[in-house]
Structure 1
Amino acid sequence: MHVLIIGASKGIGLETARQALKAGHQVRALARSAAGIEISDPNLEKVSGDALKAADVEAALAGVDVVIQTLGIAGGDLFKPVSLFSAATRVLVAAMAAKGVKRLICVTGFGAGDSRASIGFLQKLPFKFFLGRAYDDKSAQERLIKDSGLDWTIARPGILTNGPKTGRYQTLAEVSKWRNGLISRADVADFLVRQIEDRTYVGQAPVLVN
């Protein structure tokens, strides 16, 4: 498959690019610092561009079958107004509609959208203080995706670690089972790459934890 990864220069996006290439996919990596991506592979196309610019996103969608959106912000930005997630998604959804690309896989997080109600009582206050601004915007991001008419899957990982890929994580699709927990970025990437060809979770937003 021809896969566009938005936010592929670090974190989950970079690991997703590695694993998608290993799985045999053609990967186009869109990021402002794409040239610095430390992967050398003939099936990887590095595209420098801005996820907030419609022209950059539309150009990156040419010939693409699947889009994986893995945006992130720096820790210091958590205490400022956050609009990156919703603004970039608004641009992406419109561009995908214009280009006829239907499949969207997106990473938000446990605590976004209706999963916020599943946060434990003792975690609610620190969550709101440290992550509230970002997750309010991720909730807006999720609403845009759910209203888009695209074939979407939203992945909501718990607390991210730099651990190895294990493949032993849990995919919690039922609301009654949603909970917080640890999961490595490599295991989140494993889930994302699996969704490129697996439609089991189309129209769903499962929580991912160990």
Structure 2
Amino acid sequence: MRVLIIGASKGIGLETTRQVLDAGHHVRALARSAAAISISNSNLEKIRGDALKIEDVEAALVGVDVVIQTLGVGFGDLFRPVHLFSDATRVLIAAMRGHGVKRLICVTGFGAGDSSARISGLQRLPFQIVFGRAYRDKSLQERLIQESGLDWTIARPGVLTGGPRTGRYKILSDFSQWRNGIISRADVAEFLVRQIEDRTYIHQAPVLVN
């Protein structure tokens, strides 16, 4: 499969790039700092581009089978209005429709969309103070994806760690099960890679925790 990873230069995106390559797929890595990706592989194509520019995204989509969107913002950005997630997703959906690419796998987080109702009372206020702006935009991002007509899967990880890939995380697909917890970026990446060919979670937004 030819997989486009948006936001591939660090965090979950970089780990996903590694694991997609290990699984034998071809990766097209789109990021503003794509040249800094410290992976050398004949199946890796690094493309410098901006997820907010339709011309960059359209060029990256040519010949692609699956898109994995792994955007993030810095800690300092959490205290300013956040529009990156929804703005980039609008651009991506329009480009995917134009190129006939149907499969979209996206990372948001526990607390986005209807999972916000499962945040505990003790966590709710600090979560809103620190993450509220970003997660309001992630909720809008999820809504845009859910209304897109694409074959989408949304992954909602809990608190991210730099721990190893274990394969022992929980995939909570029912509202009654949803809860916060921790999970390594490597385990989130494993889930994303599985979705390239597994259609079990199409049109679902499971929560991922250890």
TM-score bracket for this pair, using the shorter chain length:
over 0.9
Q: Secondary structure at the match of 1:14?
A: helix
Q: How does 1:113-124 map to 2 (within 5 A)?
A: 113-124=113-124
Distance in 2 between residues matched to 1:97 and 1:153, nearest whole Å:
16
What displacement does 1:192 show?
A: 0.1
> Is residue 105 from structure 1 mapped to residue 81 from structure 2 by the alignment?
no
Number of matched pairs: 210
Q: Secondary structure at the match of 1:13?
A: helix
Q: Secondary structure at the match of 1:136?
A: helix
* Unaligned stretches of 5+ residues in structure 1: none
Distance in 2 between residues matched to 1:168 and 1:63, nearest whole Å:
34
* Unaligned stretches of 5+ residues in structure 2: none
| Other-structure match for 1:72 | 72
What displacement does 1:140 show?
A: 0.4
Superposition RMSD in Å: 0.2
Distance in 2 between residues matched to 1:156 and 1:22, nearest whole Å:
23
Distance in 2 between residues matched to 1:195 and 1:175, nearest whole Å:
20
Q: In the alignment, residue 104 of structure 1 is paired with which amino acid? A: L
Distance in 1 between residues matched to 2:124 and 2:172, nearest whole Å:
20
Write out the 4+ residue segments of structure 1 that deviate beyond 2 Å after TM superposition: none
Q: In the alignment, residue 108 of structure 2 is paired with which amino acid? A: T
Distance in 2 between residues matched to 1:130 and 1:178, nearest whole Å:
21
What displacement does 1:179 show?
A: 0.1
Distance in 2 between residues matched to 1:189 and 1:11, nearest whole Å:
10
What displacement does 1:141 show?
A: 0.2
| Other-structure match for 1:39 | 39
What displacement does 1:44 show?
A: 0.2
Distance in 1 between residues matched to 2:126 and 2:170, nearest whole Å:
24
TM-score, length basis structure 2: 1.00
Percent of counterpart pairs with the same letter?
A: 76
Distance in 2 between residues matched to 1:59 and 1:100, nearest whole Å:
13
> Is residue 62 from structure 1 mapped to residue 62 from structure 2 by the alignment?
yes
What displacement does 1:162 show?
A: 0.2
